[in-house]
Amino acid sequence: MSPEHLEDRGIRDPDVLRILRTTPRELFVPEEVREFSYEDRPLAIGYGATISQPFIVAFMTQLLKVERSSRVLEIGTGSGYQAAILSQLAQRVYSIEIVPELAEAARERLHRLGYTNVKVRQGDGYEGWPEEAPFDRILLTAAPEELADTLVEQLAPNGRLIAPVGGAKQQKLLLVEKDRAGKIKTRPVTTVLFIPMRRPGC
């Protein structure tokens, strides 16, 4: 999907447009679906996971409002594509993937491609990354039925969290903001459809 099409759909942040234009999405998908890399649709990457469509990546990244000083937590590394996008905006990205094979492949891929400010670990996204908390921004790329309090607690004051929340057939993209005093404000932004967020053993 070209930056011009993204602009037509409301993506205005010049940094987001530039990064989407220059990050090679084809290097984050399996070889058998590479020809579809720039179509605006999710693509299967194995183990029941997908890489999100370019518009959704751009939309959620723009909504997150990452700053150069931001420490970002991503839940659901997948192929590492979203982490690569975030790494070009943030100071540091911490990404958790529950599937061991995907976590290892993403870690190797990001290292090989030079994204040195991303740390990937295999683990339970519901638990977040407490030893590195708090985070200025948190992004979920899989949908829990309910947003875990643990993740909201790991959000720093003046932080923003974006998550698709709901069942397998109906989800809302929620924006959670925590003010300087720690007060939480949550609002739905749009409807989306993401793969369900897994728990260990599922």
What residue segments make up the domains of the chain, in order of their start?
3-192
Average pLDDT (11-22) is 95
pLDDT confidence of residue 144: 97
Which of 37, 52, 79, 87 is the catalytic position? 52
The CATH T-level fold of domain 3-192 is: Rossmann fold (3.40.50)
Q: How far, CA to CA in Å, does 142 sit from each of 120, 156, 174, 197?
A: 16, 21, 12, 5
* Predicted pLDDT of residue 4: 62
pLDDT value, residue 67 = 98
* CA distances to 19, 80, 81, 121, 164 from 57, in Å: 11, 12, 9, 21, 13
Q: Which tokens belong to 192?
A: 């989306």
Asked if residues 27 and 109 have their Cβ atoms less than 8 Å apart, the reply is yes
pLDDT tier, 156 (very low <50, low <70, confident <90, very high otherwise): very high
What is residue 2's predicted lDDT score, i.e. its pLDDT? 56
**Whether the predicted pLDDT of 202 surpasses 80:** no
The pTM assigned to this predicted structure is 0.95
Phi (first) and psi of residue 196, to 5 degrees: -65, 145
Handedness of CA 181, 138, 69, 103 (dihedral sign): positive
What's the mean pLDDT when you consider all of the chain?
95
Q: Look up 2 and say whether it is catalytic.
A: no
Do the strands 155-166 and 92-97 form a parallel or antiparallel pair, or are they unpaired?
A: unpaired
